[in-house]
Amino acid sequence: MSEERFDVIVVGAGPAGLAAAYTMAQAGLEVIVIERGDYPGAKNVMGGVVYRRPTEDVFPDFWQGKSSPVERNIVKQSLWLMNKDAAFSIGYGSAQFKAEEGYNAFTVLRAKFDQWMAAQVEEAGAIIINETTVTDLIMEHGKVVGVRTSRDDGDLYADLVIVAQGVNNLLVQQVGLGVDLKASQAAVAVKEIIALPTGVIEDRFNLEKGEGATIELVGESTMGLTGTAFIYTNKDSLSIGAGALVSQVQQKGVNPNDILENLKEHPMVKPLIAGGETKEYMAHLIPEGGYHAMPKVYADGVMVVGDAAQMVNGMHREGSNLAITSGKLAGLTAIEAKERGDYSSKTLSRYQQRLEESFVLKDLKKYRNLSHFIDDNTHLFTEYPEMVLAASHELMTVDGTPKGDKFKAMFDMVKSKRSLWQITTDLYKGWRAVK
Protein backbone atom coordinates (compact mmCIF):
# COMPACT_ATOMS: atom_id res chain seq x y z
CA MET A 1 0.00 0.00 0.00
CA SER A 2 1.22 3.43 -0.86
CA GLU A 3 1.60 5.95 1.90
CA GLU A 4 0.70 8.68 -0.53
CA ARG A 5 -2.90 9.74 -0.24
CA PHE A 6 -4.77 11.50 -2.96
CA ASP A 7 -8.03 13.38 -3.02
CA VAL A 8 -9.08 11.57 -6.17
CA ILE A 9 -8.03 8.51 -8.14
CA VAL A 10 -9.05 8.51 -11.80
CA VAL A 11 -9.14 5.13 -13.52
CA GLY A 12 -8.31 5.46 -17.21
CA ALA A 13 -6.54 8.19 -19.19
CA GLY A 14 -8.97 8.59 -22.08
CA PRO A 15 -10.78 11.85 -22.85
CA ALA A 16 -13.22 11.39 -19.96
CA GLY A 17 -10.61 10.63 -17.30
CA LEU A 18 -8.18 13.29 -18.49
CA ALA A 19 -10.88 15.97 -18.64
CA ALA A 20 -11.89 15.13 -15.07
CA ALA A 21 -8.27 15.10 -13.87
CA TYR A 22 -7.50 18.40 -15.57
CA THR A 23 -10.54 20.13 -14.10
CA MET A 24 -9.68 18.93 -10.58
CA ALA A 25 -5.91 19.48 -10.75
CA GLN A 26 -6.44 23.05 -11.86
CA ALA A 27 -8.51 23.63 -8.74
CA GLY A 28 -5.62 22.31 -6.64
CA LEU A 29 -6.92 18.83 -5.83
CA GLU A 30 -4.37 16.05 -5.41
CA VAL A 31 -5.16 13.81 -8.36
CA ILE A 32 -3.65 10.57 -9.64
CA VAL A 33 -4.64 8.96 -12.95
CA ILE A 34 -4.00 5.25 -13.44
CA GLU A 35 -3.79 4.01 -17.01
CA ARG A 36 -3.21 0.46 -18.13
CA GLY A 37 -1.68 1.31 -21.54
CA ASP A 38 2.04 1.97 -22.12
CA TYR A 39 1.04 5.61 -22.35
CA PRO A 40 -2.28 7.46 -22.66
CA GLY A 41 -3.78 6.71 -26.05
CA ALA A 42 -1.46 3.77 -26.75
CA LYS A 43 -4.31 1.48 -27.64
CA ASN A 44 -7.23 3.85 -27.76
CA VAL A 45 -9.36 3.88 -30.87
CA MET A 46 -11.59 6.55 -32.28
CA GLY A 47 -12.62 7.62 -35.77
CA GLY A 48 -11.71 10.34 -34.68
CA VAL A 49 -13.64 13.50 -34.91
CA VAL A 50 -13.46 15.78 -31.89
CA TYR A 51 -15.77 18.68 -31.49
CA ARG A 52 -14.43 22.10 -30.87
CA ARG A 53 -16.75 23.61 -28.25
CA PRO A 54 -17.00 20.83 -25.68
CA THR A 55 -13.28 20.10 -25.99
CA GLU A 56 -12.31 23.75 -25.81
CA ASP A 57 -14.48 24.08 -22.76
CA VAL A 58 -11.94 21.97 -20.88
CA PHE A 59 -8.76 22.42 -22.92
CA PRO A 60 -8.87 26.00 -24.28
CA ASP A 61 -7.09 26.56 -27.59
CA PHE A 62 -6.36 22.84 -28.04
CA TRP A 63 -6.65 23.30 -31.78
CA GLN A 64 -4.20 26.17 -31.96
CA GLY A 65 -0.45 26.45 -32.06
CA LYS A 66 2.41 24.27 -33.09
CA SER A 67 1.99 21.53 -30.52
CA SER A 68 -1.74 21.20 -31.18
CA PRO A 69 -2.83 17.56 -31.46
CA VAL A 70 -5.40 18.10 -34.20
CA GLU A 71 -4.93 16.76 -37.70
CA ARG A 72 -7.33 18.71 -39.90
CA ASN A 73 -10.15 21.20 -39.50
CA ILE A 74 -13.26 19.62 -40.98
CA VAL A 75 -14.91 21.81 -43.60
CA LYS A 76 -17.26 19.29 -45.16
CA GLN A 77 -19.02 16.16 -44.12
CA SER A 78 -20.89 13.71 -46.27
CA LEU A 79 -23.05 10.65 -46.02
CA TRP A 80 -22.90 7.84 -48.55
CA LEU A 81 -25.64 5.30 -49.04
CA MET A 82 -24.09 2.27 -50.65
CA ASN A 83 -24.86 -0.92 -52.43
CA LYS A 84 -22.33 -3.29 -53.96
CA ASP A 85 -21.20 -1.08 -56.78
CA ALA A 86 -22.60 2.39 -56.23
CA ALA A 87 -22.79 5.18 -53.72
CA PHE A 88 -25.39 7.91 -53.33
CA SER A 89 -23.82 10.82 -51.57
CA ILE A 90 -25.12 13.87 -49.82
CA GLY A 91 -22.88 16.30 -48.06
CA TYR A 92 -22.58 19.62 -46.39
CA GLY A 93 -19.66 21.94 -46.60
CA SER A 94 -19.55 25.57 -45.63
CA ALA A 95 -17.26 28.54 -45.88
CA GLN A 96 -18.21 29.19 -42.27
CA PHE A 97 -16.29 26.11 -41.20
CA LYS A 98 -13.22 27.50 -42.93
CA ALA A 99 -12.99 30.69 -40.91
CA GLU A 100 -11.38 30.34 -37.51
CA GLU A 101 -14.39 31.50 -35.55
CA GLY A 102 -16.46 28.92 -37.40
CA TYR A 103 -14.19 25.94 -36.78
CA ASN A 104 -16.50 23.21 -35.63
CA ALA A 105 -14.74 19.87 -35.53
CA PHE A 106 -11.31 18.37 -36.11
CA THR A 107 -9.85 15.00 -36.91
CA VAL A 108 -7.43 13.54 -34.38
CA LEU A 109 -5.37 10.41 -33.89
CA ARG A 110 -5.81 9.13 -30.38
CA ALA A 111 -2.18 8.25 -29.62
CA LYS A 112 -1.27 11.89 -30.17
CA PHE A 113 -4.46 13.48 -28.84
CA ASP A 114 -4.47 11.54 -25.56
CA GLN A 115 -0.79 12.21 -24.94
CA TRP A 116 -1.33 15.88 -25.55
CA MET A 117 -4.18 16.01 -23.03
CA ALA A 118 -2.08 13.97 -20.59
CA ALA A 119 0.72 16.53 -20.84
CA GLN A 120 -1.74 19.31 -19.92
CA VAL A 121 -2.98 17.25 -17.00
CA GLU A 122 0.55 16.70 -15.68
CA GLU A 123 1.36 20.35 -16.12
CA ALA A 124 -1.70 21.17 -14.01
CA GLY A 125 -0.16 19.09 -11.25
CA ALA A 126 -1.78 15.66 -11.48
CA ILE A 127 0.24 12.44 -11.58
CA ILE A 128 -0.27 9.89 -14.34
CA ILE A 129 0.85 6.32 -13.77
CA ASN A 130 1.01 4.16 -16.90
CA GLU A 131 1.23 0.43 -17.49
CA THR A 132 -0.88 -0.20 -14.41
CA THR A 133 -4.30 -1.83 -14.43
CA VAL A 134 -6.93 -1.21 -11.79
CA THR A 135 -8.29 -4.65 -10.98
CA ASP A 136 -10.76 -3.83 -8.19
CA LEU A 137 -12.40 -0.97 -6.43
CA ILE A 138 -11.79 -1.24 -2.70
CA MET A 139 -15.01 -0.95 -0.71
CA GLU A 140 -15.40 -0.31 3.00
CA HIS A 141 -18.82 -0.07 4.65
CA GLY A 142 -20.50 0.08 1.27
CA LYS A 143 -18.38 3.01 0.19
CA VAL A 144 -15.65 3.10 -2.44
CA VAL A 145 -12.40 4.07 -0.69
CA GLY A 146 -9.68 3.21 -3.17
CA VAL A 147 -8.40 0.95 -5.91
CA ARG A 148 -6.40 -2.25 -6.15
CA THR A 149 -3.92 -2.34 -9.03
CA SER A 150 -1.90 -4.96 -10.89
CA ARG A 151 1.32 -3.69 -9.26
CA ASP A 152 3.01 -5.05 -6.16
CA ASP A 153 2.04 -2.97 -3.13
CA GLY A 154 -0.71 -1.85 -5.43
CA ASP A 155 -3.50 -0.67 -3.14
CA LEU A 156 -4.17 3.00 -3.19
CA TYR A 157 -6.68 4.96 -1.14
CA ALA A 158 -8.45 8.24 -1.83
CA ASP A 159 -11.56 10.14 -0.89
CA LEU A 160 -13.03 9.63 -4.31
CA VAL A 161 -12.60 7.34 -7.32
CA ILE A 162 -13.68 8.40 -10.80
CA VAL A 163 -14.13 5.44 -13.14
CA ALA A 164 -13.22 6.45 -16.70
CA GLN A 165 -12.19 3.04 -17.96
CA GLY A 166 -14.14 3.08 -21.21
CA VAL A 167 -16.59 0.63 -22.64
CA ASN A 168 -15.40 -2.49 -20.80
CA ASN A 169 -16.62 -1.19 -17.48
CA LEU A 170 -15.90 -4.18 -15.25
CA LEU A 171 -15.32 -1.96 -12.21
CA VAL A 172 -18.73 -0.37 -12.62
CA GLN A 173 -20.32 -3.80 -12.66
CA GLN A 174 -18.21 -4.91 -9.74
CA VAL A 175 -19.68 -2.33 -7.40
CA GLY A 176 -23.17 -3.01 -8.62
CA LEU A 177 -23.80 0.25 -10.45
CA GLY A 178 -24.49 -1.42 -13.77
CA VAL A 179 -24.64 -4.71 -15.59
CA ASP A 180 -22.63 -6.05 -18.49
CA LEU A 181 -23.57 -4.78 -21.94
CA LYS A 182 -25.76 -6.97 -24.08
CA ALA A 183 -24.50 -7.90 -27.52
CA SER A 184 -27.17 -5.63 -28.99
CA GLN A 185 -25.87 -2.70 -26.94
CA ALA A 186 -22.37 -2.56 -28.35
CA ALA A 187 -20.84 -2.28 -31.77
CA VAL A 188 -17.54 -3.81 -32.68
CA ALA A 189 -15.50 -1.50 -34.85
CA VAL A 190 -12.32 -2.05 -36.80
CA LYS A 191 -10.16 0.71 -38.14
CA GLU A 192 -7.04 1.20 -40.19
CA ILE A 193 -4.78 4.18 -40.58
CA ILE A 194 -3.60 4.39 -44.16
CA ALA A 195 -0.67 6.67 -44.94
CA LEU A 196 -0.89 8.93 -47.98
CA PRO A 197 0.96 12.11 -48.88
CA THR A 198 -0.70 15.31 -47.70
CA GLY A 199 -1.12 16.64 -51.24
CA VAL A 200 -2.72 13.43 -52.48
CA ILE A 201 -5.28 13.57 -49.69
CA GLU A 202 -6.11 17.18 -50.49
CA ASP A 203 -6.49 16.36 -54.19
CA ARG A 204 -8.64 13.30 -53.72
CA PHE A 205 -10.98 14.92 -51.24
CA ASN A 206 -10.94 18.26 -52.99
CA LEU A 207 -9.60 20.16 -49.99
CA GLU A 208 -7.51 23.22 -49.50
CA LYS A 209 -4.30 22.96 -47.53
CA GLY A 210 -4.87 21.75 -43.98
CA GLU A 211 -8.61 21.29 -44.42
CA GLY A 212 -10.36 18.03 -43.70
CA ALA A 213 -13.39 16.02 -44.77
CA THR A 214 -15.41 13.21 -43.31
CA ILE A 215 -17.54 10.56 -44.95
CA GLU A 216 -19.99 8.30 -43.12
CA LEU A 217 -21.04 5.29 -45.15
CA VAL A 218 -24.22 3.27 -44.69
CA GLY A 219 -25.50 0.10 -46.34
CA GLU A 220 -23.11 -2.21 -48.14
CA SER A 221 -20.30 -0.47 -46.23
CA THR A 222 -21.20 -2.73 -43.29
CA MET A 223 -22.36 -5.57 -45.55
CA GLY A 224 -25.92 -4.69 -44.62
CA LEU A 225 -25.38 -5.13 -40.88
CA THR A 226 -26.70 -2.47 -38.55
CA GLY A 227 -23.81 -0.09 -38.26
CA THR A 228 -21.83 2.52 -40.14
CA ALA A 229 -18.45 3.00 -41.69
CA PHE A 230 -16.30 6.08 -41.94
CA ILE A 231 -13.43 7.64 -43.82
CA TYR A 232 -11.73 10.64 -42.22
CA THR A 233 -8.80 12.68 -43.44
CA ASN A 234 -5.77 13.21 -41.21
CA LYS A 235 -2.66 15.24 -42.08
CA ASP A 236 -0.88 12.49 -43.95
CA SER A 237 -3.16 9.53 -43.49
CA LEU A 238 -6.76 8.42 -43.76
CA SER A 239 -8.71 6.75 -41.00
CA ILE A 240 -11.03 4.16 -42.45
CA GLY A 241 -13.21 1.96 -40.32
CA ALA A 242 -16.47 0.13 -39.96
CA GLY A 243 -18.56 -0.97 -37.03
CA ALA A 244 -21.61 -3.16 -36.60
CA LEU A 245 -23.67 -4.37 -33.66
CA VAL A 246 -22.01 -7.28 -31.89
CA SER A 247 -25.32 -9.17 -31.87
CA GLN A 248 -25.53 -9.02 -35.65
CA VAL A 249 -21.92 -9.85 -36.24
CA GLN A 250 -22.46 -12.93 -34.10
CA GLN A 251 -25.79 -13.83 -35.64
CA LYS A 252 -24.61 -13.54 -39.22
CA GLY A 253 -21.20 -15.02 -38.46
CA VAL A 254 -19.40 -12.12 -40.11
CA ASN A 255 -15.79 -11.37 -39.28
CA PRO A 256 -15.45 -7.62 -38.62
CA ASN A 257 -12.17 -7.61 -40.57
CA ASP A 258 -14.06 -8.77 -43.62
CA ILE A 259 -16.42 -5.82 -43.33
CA LEU A 260 -13.47 -3.46 -43.54
CA GLU A 261 -11.80 -5.41 -46.35
CA ASN A 262 -15.09 -5.41 -48.27
CA LEU A 263 -15.33 -1.66 -47.78
CA LYS A 264 -11.78 -1.06 -48.98
CA GLU A 265 -12.54 -2.98 -52.16
CA HIS A 266 -15.70 -1.00 -52.94
CA PRO A 267 -15.30 0.69 -56.35
CA MET A 268 -16.16 4.11 -54.91
CA VAL A 269 -13.80 3.74 -51.94
CA LYS A 270 -10.85 2.02 -53.55
CA PRO A 271 -9.61 5.08 -55.49
CA LEU A 272 -9.64 7.16 -52.30
CA ILE A 273 -7.18 4.87 -50.55
CA ALA A 274 -5.24 3.65 -53.59
CA GLY A 275 -1.48 3.55 -53.12
CA GLY A 276 -1.74 4.09 -49.36
CA GLU A 277 0.18 2.04 -46.88
CA THR A 278 -1.63 0.60 -43.86
CA LYS A 279 0.16 1.86 -40.78
CA GLU A 280 -2.03 0.61 -37.98
CA TYR A 281 -4.88 -1.77 -37.52
CA MET A 282 -7.08 -1.74 -34.45
CA ALA A 283 -10.39 -2.94 -33.10
CA HIS A 284 -12.57 -1.56 -30.33
CA LEU A 285 -16.09 -1.66 -28.93
CA ILE A 286 -18.49 1.26 -29.04
CA PRO A 287 -21.35 1.44 -26.52
CA GLU A 288 -24.59 1.74 -28.51
CA GLY A 289 -27.23 1.05 -25.89
CA GLY A 290 -27.71 4.73 -25.16
CA TYR A 291 -29.69 6.06 -22.24
CA HIS A 292 -31.40 2.78 -21.36
CA ALA A 293 -28.08 0.99 -21.02
CA MET A 294 -26.52 3.57 -18.71
CA PRO A 295 -25.40 2.46 -15.26
CA LYS A 296 -26.01 4.56 -12.19
CA VAL A 297 -23.29 7.20 -12.49
CA TYR A 298 -22.52 7.88 -8.83
CA ALA A 299 -22.52 6.27 -5.38
CA ASP A 300 -20.67 6.86 -2.13
CA GLY A 301 -17.07 7.69 -3.04
CA VAL A 302 -17.38 7.03 -6.78
CA MET A 303 -18.49 8.60 -10.07
CA VAL A 304 -18.61 7.09 -13.56
CA VAL A 305 -17.79 9.11 -16.69
CA GLY A 306 -17.61 8.69 -20.47
CA ASP A 307 -17.90 5.34 -22.23
CA ALA A 308 -17.81 3.56 -18.87
CA ALA A 309 -21.25 5.12 -18.37
CA GLN A 310 -22.24 4.27 -21.98
CA MET A 311 -22.39 7.92 -22.91
CA VAL A 312 -22.30 7.66 -26.68
CA ASN A 313 -24.67 9.13 -29.21
CA GLY A 314 -24.22 6.61 -31.99
CA MET A 315 -26.50 8.36 -34.44
CA HIS A 316 -24.17 11.35 -34.55
CA ARG A 317 -20.90 9.47 -33.90
CA GLU A 318 -20.48 11.52 -30.78
CA GLY A 319 -18.60 10.03 -27.87
CA SER A 320 -15.50 12.08 -27.19
CA ASN A 321 -17.56 15.18 -26.48
CA LEU A 322 -19.84 13.38 -24.03
CA ALA A 323 -16.75 11.84 -22.44
CA ILE A 324 -14.99 15.18 -22.04
CA THR A 325 -18.06 17.02 -20.81
CA SER A 326 -19.03 14.30 -18.33
CA GLY A 327 -15.42 14.26 -17.10
CA LYS A 328 -15.57 17.98 -16.53
CA LEU A 329 -18.91 17.82 -14.72
CA ALA A 330 -17.64 15.03 -12.47
CA GLY A 331 -14.52 17.12 -11.84
CA LEU A 332 -16.58 20.14 -10.81
CA THR A 333 -18.61 17.95 -8.49
CA ALA A 334 -15.43 16.56 -6.94
CA ILE A 335 -14.19 20.08 -6.26
CA GLU A 336 -17.42 20.81 -4.41
CA ALA A 337 -17.16 17.56 -2.49
CA LYS A 338 -13.63 18.47 -1.43
CA GLU A 339 -14.79 21.90 -0.24
CA ARG A 340 -17.54 20.31 1.81
CA GLY A 341 -15.36 17.44 2.95
CA ASP A 342 -18.19 15.13 1.99
CA TYR A 343 -17.88 12.53 -0.75
CA SER A 344 -21.13 10.74 -0.05
CA SER A 345 -23.65 10.02 -2.76
CA LYS A 346 -25.64 13.00 -1.49
CA THR A 347 -22.97 15.45 -2.62
CA LEU A 348 -22.10 13.42 -5.69
CA SER A 349 -25.71 13.46 -6.89
CA ARG A 350 -24.88 16.96 -8.10
CA TYR A 351 -23.00 15.21 -10.90
CA GLN A 352 -26.22 13.57 -12.10
CA GLN A 353 -27.97 16.94 -11.91
CA ARG A 354 -25.25 18.61 -13.91
CA LEU A 355 -25.48 15.91 -16.56
CA GLU A 356 -29.24 16.42 -16.78
CA GLU A 357 -28.76 20.14 -17.28
CA SER A 358 -26.17 19.63 -20.02
CA PHE A 359 -26.48 18.33 -23.55
CA VAL A 360 -25.11 14.99 -22.35
CA LEU A 361 -28.27 13.62 -20.78
CA LYS A 362 -30.58 15.81 -22.85
CA ASP A 363 -29.25 14.22 -26.03
CA LEU A 364 -29.00 10.71 -24.65
CA LYS A 365 -32.62 10.96 -23.49
CA LYS A 366 -33.79 12.34 -26.80
CA TYR A 367 -32.29 9.42 -28.65
CA ARG A 368 -33.10 6.85 -26.01
CA ASN A 369 -35.43 4.79 -28.20
CA LEU A 370 -33.49 5.11 -31.39
CA SER A 371 -31.25 2.13 -30.86
CA HIS A 372 -34.29 -0.10 -30.30
CA PHE A 373 -35.89 1.27 -33.39
CA ILE A 374 -32.80 0.62 -35.47
CA ASP A 375 -32.25 -2.75 -33.91
CA ASP A 376 -35.81 -3.83 -34.71
CA ASN A 377 -35.62 -2.49 -38.24
CA THR A 378 -32.46 -3.81 -39.79
CA HIS A 379 -33.93 -3.31 -43.25
CA LEU A 380 -33.00 0.36 -42.82
CA PHE A 381 -29.44 -0.67 -43.58
CA THR A 382 -30.29 -2.86 -46.54
CA GLU A 383 -33.49 -1.93 -48.30
CA TYR A 384 -33.37 1.84 -48.08
CA PRO A 385 -29.87 2.26 -49.43
CA GLU A 386 -30.82 -0.12 -52.25
CA MET A 387 -33.95 1.89 -53.00
CA VAL A 388 -32.17 5.21 -53.11
CA LEU A 389 -29.42 3.80 -55.28
CA ALA A 390 -31.76 2.07 -57.69
CA ALA A 391 -33.79 5.25 -58.00
CA SER A 392 -30.68 7.34 -58.55
CA HIS A 393 -29.42 4.93 -61.15
CA GLU A 394 -32.68 5.13 -62.98
CA LEU A 395 -32.63 8.90 -62.87
CA MET A 396 -28.99 9.32 -63.87
CA THR A 397 -29.12 6.91 -66.78
CA VAL A 398 -29.86 8.70 -70.03
CA ASP A 399 -31.24 6.04 -72.33
CA GLY A 400 -34.12 7.64 -74.22
CA THR A 401 -36.80 6.61 -71.72
CA PRO A 402 -39.21 9.52 -71.11
CA LYS A 403 -38.81 11.03 -67.66
CA GLY A 404 -42.43 10.28 -66.76
CA ASP A 405 -41.82 6.57 -67.35
CA LYS A 406 -38.67 6.76 -65.30
CA PHE A 407 -40.48 8.18 -62.30
CA LYS A 408 -43.11 5.50 -62.58
CA ALA A 409 -40.43 2.81 -62.78
CA MET A 410 -38.74 4.27 -59.70
CA PHE A 411 -41.98 4.36 -57.79
CA ASP A 412 -42.80 0.76 -58.73
CA MET A 413 -39.33 -0.34 -57.70
CA VAL A 414 -39.69 1.33 -54.29
CA LYS A 415 -43.13 -0.20 -53.75
CA SER A 416 -41.85 -3.63 -54.74
CA LYS A 417 -39.25 -3.43 -51.99
CA ARG A 418 -41.41 -1.97 -49.28
CA SER A 419 -45.06 -0.97 -49.30
CA LEU A 420 -45.96 2.65 -48.88
CA TRP A 421 -47.60 1.73 -45.60
CA GLN A 422 -44.36 0.17 -44.37
CA ILE A 423 -42.41 3.21 -45.43
CA THR A 424 -44.85 5.53 -43.69
CA THR A 425 -44.61 3.39 -40.56
CA ASP A 426 -40.81 3.50 -40.66
CA LEU A 427 -40.85 7.25 -40.97
CA TYR A 428 -43.33 7.62 -38.14
CA LYS A 429 -41.44 5.27 -35.83
CA GLY A 430 -38.16 6.92 -36.69
CA TRP A 431 -39.61 10.32 -35.92
CA ARG A 432 -41.09 9.02 -32.66
CA ALA A 433 -37.75 7.62 -31.61
CA VAL A 434 -36.08 11.02 -31.64
CA LYS A 435 -39.08 13.21 -30.88
Partner 1 sequence: MHVVVCIKQVPDTTEVRIDPKTNTLVRAGVPSIMNPYDIHAVEEAVRIKEQVGGKVTVITMGPPAAVQVLKEAVSLGADETVLVTDRVFAASDTFATSYVLASTIQKIAGSEPVDLIFAGKQAIDGDTAQTGPGIAQRMNLPLLTYVEKVRSIDVENKKIVVERRLEGSKQIVESTLPALLTVEKEINDVRYATLPNLIKAATHNPKAWDHTVIEADRTKVGLKGSPTRVGRSFVQQLTNEPGEIIEGTPQEAVVSLVDKLFAEGHLVADR
- Kindly list the residues in this chain that would bind ligand FAD in the complex (CB under 6 A): 11-17, 34-37, 44-49, 133-134, 164-166, 189, 191, 241, 243, 284, 286, 306-308, 312, 317-321, 323
- Rounded least distance, CB 34 to partner 1, Å: 9
Contact flags string 372-391 toward partner 1, x per CB under 8 A: --------------------
156 binds, among partner 1, ligand FAD, none (CB under 5 to 8 A by kind): partner 1
Q: Which residues pair with 108 in a beta bridge?
A: 70
Contact stretch for partner 1 (CB under 8 A) within 152-160, 224-232, 233-241, 363-371: 152-160
Q: Is 399 in the site for partner 1 (CB under 8 A)?
A: no
Residues of this chain, 101-130, that bind partner 1 according to CB under 8 A: 127-129
Distance of closest approach, residue 32 Cβ to ligand FAD, in angstroms: 12
Sign of CA dihedral 101, 107, 113, 114: positive
237: contact with partner 1 by CB under 8 A: no
Residue in 116, 151, 124, 122 with CA at minimum distance from that of residue 135:
151
Helix, strand, or coil (residue 322):
helix
**Radius of gyration over alpha carbons of the chain, in Å?**
23
The H or E element spanning position 76 is strand 70-82
Whether the CB-CB separation of 386 and 219 falls below 8 Å is answered with yes
Query: Of 103 and 390, which has the nearer Cβ to ligand FAD?
Result: 103
Among residues 36 and 338, whose Cβ is nearest to ligand FAD? 36
From the list partner 1, ligand FAD, none, partner contacted by residue 61 (C-beta under 5 to 8 A by kind): none
For the chain, how far is it from start to end, CA to CA, in angstroms? 52
Identify whether the C-beta of residue 302 lies closer than 8 Å to the C-beta of residue 139.
Answer: no
Query: Identity (one letter) of the amino acid at 212?
Result: G
**Per-position x/- string for 314-353, each x denoting binding to partner 1 as judged by CB under 8 A, each - no binding:** ----------------------------------------
Among 138, 142, 219, 163, CA closest to 34: 163
How many CA atoms are closer than 13 Å to the CA of 44, on its beta-carbon side?
31
Interface pattern 156-195 for partner 1 (x via CB under 8 A) = x---------------------------------------
Please name which of 136, 376, 182, 179 lies closest in space to residue 285, comparing C-alpha atoms.
Answer: 182
Q: Which is nearer to partner 1, 33 or 108 (CB)?
A: 33
- Of 42-50, 150-158, 159-167, 326-334, the segment contacting partner 1 by CB under 8 A is 150-158
Comparison of 131 and 376: residue with beta carbon closer to ligand FAD? 131
Q: What φ, ψ does residue 280 adopt, rounded to 5°?
A: -145, 145
Our CB check for ligand FAD shows the closer of 330 and 388 to be 330
- 312 close to 14: Cβ distance less than 8 angstroms: no
151-159, 164-172, 283-291, 367-375 -> range binding partner 1 (CB under 8 A): 151-159
Residue 176 CA to its chain's centroid (Å)? 25
Give the integer Cα–Cα distance in Å for 250 and 332: 41
Assess 430 for contact with partner 1 (CB under 8 A).
no
Using CB under 8 A, pick the residue from 77, 149, 184, 321 that binds partner 1: 149
The correct pick among 3, 61, 265, 399 for binding partner 1 (CB under 8 A) is 3
Q: Which does 162 bind (CB under 5 to 8 A by kind): ligand FAD, partner 1, none?
A: none
The amino acid at 339 = E
Other Cβ atoms within 10 Å of 299 Cβ, number: 21
* 57 vs 155, beta carbon nearer partner 1: 155
Cα dihedral 192, 198, 199, 202, rounded to 10, equals 60
CA distance 54 to 66: 21
Residues that bind partner 1 (CB under 8 A): 1-4, 32, 127-129, 132, 149, 151-156
